[in-house]
Amino acid sequence: MAALHHPQSDTLWAYAAGTLDEASSVLVASHLALCPECRADVARMEAMGGEMLEDAGTVSISSSLDDIMARLDGPVFVKAQSQPIKTPANDTILPRPLRDYVGSSVDTVKWHGLTSGVEYFDLPVRAKGRRARLLKIAPGTRVPSHGHGGEEMTMVLAGGYTDEFGSYARGDVETADVTQVHQPVADAGEPCICLTVTRGALIPSAIFSVINRFFPRLSA
């Protein structure tokens, strides 16, 4: 099944330009391994970036972001790295970029208890202010309702979950910002395994409401 929810366009642009932090890059690369639509978009972005560098010596770059985004409707620039990354038969959950950090199989992950029905594993990434973490959520488990001290990206690897903003399955990416409060609920059937990248701390919804009430600019 094709992904229905994707990383934001500015995140893909940063990845294509090589300026995205390591933690976020792991998540984007894992999504690209499963999403041909975003692989094609990133290939176009990389090709346009190369064209712009070639032209920079003789022509001033005046295209706005809107102009560049409009060019994405043009022909796809096929590149070798835009091909899907094959996952070994012994692991159908972890895409190749993620296995480089976690290990050969999700079965070898050394999970740690976080809260009732939720386990985690922190990825060894170097990204100041950001944390990459695998979560394993038991079927039907409600993750505590929370807000965000910074951006949070979540990619589903197995199973799925639903929150106030939609339903997410394998390959889908949800991006939450400092204005949003949500409570993900794991789907029934199998554990929901996902990769999260967070900047700043998660804030329990009750505390977030107080902050939003008395200091609205902090969450705007």
pLDDT tens track for 188-215: 999 999 999 998 777 776 543 433 443 3
| CATH label of the domain that carries residue 50 | 1.10.10.1320
Phi, psi of 147 (to 5 degrees): -105, -170
The reply to whether 93 falls in a domain is: no
Does residue 120 sit in the same domain as residue 212?
Answer: yes
Does residue 69 sit in the same domain as residue 172?
Answer: no
78 neighbors 84 (Cβ within 8 angstroms): no
Range(s) of the domain holding residue 19: 9-82
Q: DSSP letter string over 106-160?
A: GGG---EEEETTEEEEE-----TTEEEEEEEE-TTPBPPPEEESS-EEEEEEESE
| Res. 178 pLDDT band, cuts 50 70 90 | confident
Highest mean pLDDT among 50-64, 81-95, 171-185: 171-185
The percentage of residues in the chain with a pLDDT greater than 70, rounded to a whole number, is 73
pLDDT exceeds cutoff 90 at 57: no
Does residue 119 sit in the same domain as residue 173?
Answer: yes
| CATH label of the domain that carries residue 165 | 2.60.120.10
pLDDT exceeds cutoff 70 at 77: no
Does residue 107 sit in the same domain as residue 39?
Answer: no
pLDDT of residue 42: 96
pLDDT of residue 173: 98
Comparing 36 with 54, the larger pLDDT belongs to 36
- How far apart are the C-alpha atoms of 37 and 29, rounded to whole Å? 13
197 neighbors 132 (Cβ within 8 angstroms): yes
Does residue 30 sit in the same domain as residue 134?
Answer: no
Q: What angle do CA 112, 114, 117 make, to 5 degrees?
A: 100
The reply to whether 209 falls in a domain is: yes
Number of domains in the chain: 2
How many residues are present in the chain? Answer: 220
The reply to whether 78 falls in a domain is: yes
Does residue 51 sit in the same domain as residue 132?
Answer: no
The reply to whether 87 falls in a domain is: no
The residue-averaged pLDDT of 93-104 equals 90
Q: Which two tokens stand for residue 187?
A: 């789907």
- How far apart are the C-alpha atoms of 165 and 6, rounded to whole Å? 14
pLDDT of residue 53: 62
pLDDT of residue 180: 87
23 neighbors 124 (Cβ within 8 angstroms): no
- How far apart are the C-alpha atoms of 184 and 141, rounded to whole Å? 8
| Res. 127 pLDDT band, cuts 50 70 90 | confident
- How far apart are the C-alpha atoms of 195 and 167, rounded to whole Å? 16
Q: Which two tokens stand for residue 124?
A: 């060894």
Q: Which two tokens stand for residue 140?
A: 């039907």
The reply to whether 1 falls in a domain is: no
Which tens digit of pLDDT belongs to each residue from 134-168?
A: 999 999 999 988 888 889 999 999 999 999 999 99
The reply to whether 96 falls in a domain is: no
The reply to whether 65 falls in a domain is: yes
197 neighbors 27 (Cβ within 8 angstroms): yes
At residue 200, the 3 state secondary structure works out as coil
Does residue 75 sit in the same domain as residue 148?
Answer: no
